[in-house]
Amino acid sequence: MTIQPDQLRIGLIGVGNMGSFYARELTAGTIPRAVLAAVCDEDPARLAPWTGVTQYSSAEALLNHPTLDAVLIATPHYAHTTLGIAALDKGLHVLVDKPISVHKADAVRLLAAHRNPQQIFAAMFNQRTDGYFLKIKELVDAGSLGELRRVNWIITNWFRTDAYYASGGWRATWAGEGGGVLLNQCPHQLDMLCWLTGTPERVDAHCQFGRYHDIEVEDDVTAYLEYANGATGVFITSTGEAPGTNRLELIGEGGKVVLEADTLHFYRNQTPMSAFSRTTTESFAAPEVSVETYDGLNHGEQHVGVLKNFVAAILDGAPLIAPAAEGLASVELANAMLLSAFERRPVELPIDADAYAKCLQQRIAASTHRKKTAAPSGPSDMKGSF
Ligand SMILES: NC(=O)c1ccc[n+]([C@@H]2O[C@H](COP(=O)([O-])OP(=O)(O)OC[C@H]3O[C@@H](n4cnc5c(N)ncnc54)[C@H](O)[C@@H]3O)[C@@H](O)[C@H]2O)c1
């Protein structure tokens, strides 16, 4: 493979399910001005398809590759912290997959290693490129929704089979993954929630551990959220329910946003709801509403869009879609939900990072679950990541 002098040389750490997708896009030339310069994986079988690319059997060896500009980390979660710190210490630009770390203390350590502002450090929150969420963000930022009063998000369309959980020894274990649906599938929605509404200041979460699958971590969550302004919310997710739902409602003084099944409506109040309630003399009236339907939107470029943006940030100084620093919020919110469920009490944010790390460590130490693994028979791909 010939690398042009103006091409950004990316090293990929972890060529599993997600890493294979990134490797395919990079080698297909989908990301202009970037080239896959080296790959590494601890599993030699994962490297086998990438014959035209320099290969390493360890991340340490890849990080010593003489001509890398950037790395993309697509390993199991705990290694995001250690490898991210190692890559930043080498002076490389870093794009880390979600979640940026398993727990807040790790995330804080990882972000502290980003000392040089010339180094670009981004996170793979591909849903931030989605046209539907971008439209909602625009409505929120423009003040059309008004002050937030309630958020409801049901995300039960992350259905996963036993074969999925058996497809990797690290999956769905406290020691290997650090959690279940909150750490693997829902970092996307937790990031989106914080991006759109800010971070709640209290959560009261009920998690069921291994409700649907033979796993030790949570595969079903119902969380009640409270925000500093008194707004409340409900966040429900599961990997065991089919058919699933993905429905987001944001209710503000100015109206209601509803996103479900690729349909986005904004119900715009002609008078903000509390002002209407205070000023009308009628008992059973409600504000007049005009309904706006946003069609013609699409899901955007997703992972490819984040990759292109990472390259543009490095080469052109473009603003990042998802700076890694913004990945702390979703990690902390996931931790807060788990802590609330572990201790069966509402949890205030910010959480005590060290106390949570200790709590997780205790789960790991007390684990008696015997993880079953088996190679999947169906296609192994990035199914359902948006
Ligand atoms: N952004 C998204 O939409 C999306 C979707 C799926 C997965 N992910 C994330 O991608 C990451 C990987 O998930 P996956 O499903 O591809 O897992 P996977 O198990 O299929 O692949 C992980 C690969 O990393 C390798 N590996 C493990 N430790 C390593 C190390 N220290 N050095 C080098 N290689 C190492 C493994 O051998 C394996 O091939 C996770 O963080 C996951 O949350 C993101």
Note whether 217 and 210 are within 8 A (CB).
Answer: yes
- 40 within ligand 1 shell (Cβ under 6 A): yes
**Is 41 touching ligand 1 by the criterion CB < 6 Å?**
yes
Contacts for 281 with CB less than 8 Å, ≥ 6 apart: none
190 and 265 inside one domain: yes
Same domain, residue pair 62 and 201 = no
Residue 374 lies in a domain: no
Contact by Cβ (8 Å): 292, 142: no
In a domain, 226, yes or no: yes
User: pLDDT value at position 295?
Assistant: 84
What is the position in ligand 1's atom list of the atom closest to the CA of 14? 24
Q: Is residue 200 part of a domain?
A: yes
Q: Are residues 357 and 229 in the same domain?
A: yes
385 within ligand 1 shell (Cβ under 6 A)? yes
Residue written as tokens 């290997």? 176
Residue 63 near residue 87, CB atoms below 8 Å: yes
CB 87 near ligand 1, within 6 Å: no
- Ligand 1 mean position, distance from CA 268 (Å): 42
In which domain, by residue range, is 18 found? 8-127+302-321
Distance from chain centroid for Cα 147: 25
Is 53 a domain residue?
A: yes
How high is the pLDDT of residue 379?
Answer: 52
Q: What pLDDT score does 383 carry?
A: 45
In the chain the beta strands, taken as DSSP E runs, fall at: 8-13, 34-40, 54-56, 70-73, 93-97, 121-124, 148-155, 202-209, 218-226, 232-238, 246-252, 255-260, 263-269, 289-294, 347-348
User: Is the residue at 381 inside a domain?
Assistant: no
User: Are both 32 and 112 inside the same structural domain?
Assistant: yes
Query: Which regions of the chain are under pLDDT 70?
Result: 1, 376-386
Both 61 and 158 in a single domain?
Answer: no
Q: How far is the CA of 130 from the centre of ligand 1 (A)?
A: 23
Kindly list the distances between the CA atom of residue 244 and the CA atoms of 147, 159, 160, 206, 260, in Å, as whole numbers in the listed order: 30, 7, 11, 19, 11
Statement: the pTM of the whole predicted model exceeds 0.75: yes
Which has the closest alpha carbon to 209: 366, 370, 341? 341
Domain CATH for 98: 3.40.50.720
Give a yes or no: residue 1 inside a domain: no
**Domain check: are 347 and 244 in the same one?**
yes
Q: Is residue 148 part of a domain?
A: yes
Ligand 1 proximity of 101 Cβ (cutoff 6 Å): no
Residue 386 lies in a domain: no
Both 97 and 222 in a single domain?
A: no
Distance (Å) from CA 15 to ligand 1 centroid: 7
pLDDT of 207 reads 98
Regarding whether 306 and 289 lie in a shared domain, the answer is no
> What pLDDT shows up at residue 385?
40
- 12, 41, 102, 239: which to mutate for ligand 1, most atoms within 8 A of CB? 41
Question: Which one, of 63, 57, 59, 22, lies nearest residue 43 by Cα?
Answer: 57
Q: Please tell me whether residue 96 adopts helix, strand or coil conformation.
A: strand
Is residue 348 domain-shared with residue 235, that is, in the same domain?
Answer: yes
Span 132-169, pLDDT tens digits: 999 999 999 999 999 999 999 999 999 999 999 999 89
Atom 25 of ligand 1, nearest CA residue: 14
The CA 13 to ligand 1 mean position distance, Å, reads 9
Are residues 90 and 154 located together in one domain of the fold? Answer: no
Is residue 185 domain-shared with residue 93, that is, in the same domain? no
Element (H, E) at 328: helix 327-343
Using most ligand atoms within 8 A of CB, pick from 12, 56, 75, 383 the residue to mutate for ligand 1. Answer: 75
Looking at the fold, whether 103 and 187 belong to one and the same domain comes out as no
CB of residue 76 inside a 6 A radius of ligand 1: yes
Report the alpha-carbon distance of residue 306 to residue 314 in Å, rounded.
12
- For residue 266, how far is its CA from the centre of ligand 1 (angstroms)? 37
Counting from 1 in the atom list of ligand 1, the atom nearest the Cα of 83 is: 31
CATH of residue 203's domain is 3.30.360.10
| Residue tagged 């052109």 (tokens) | 316
Count: domains in the chain = 2
The amino acid at residue 255 is G
User: How far apart (Å, rounded) are the C-alpha atoms in residues 160 and 340?
Assistant: 24
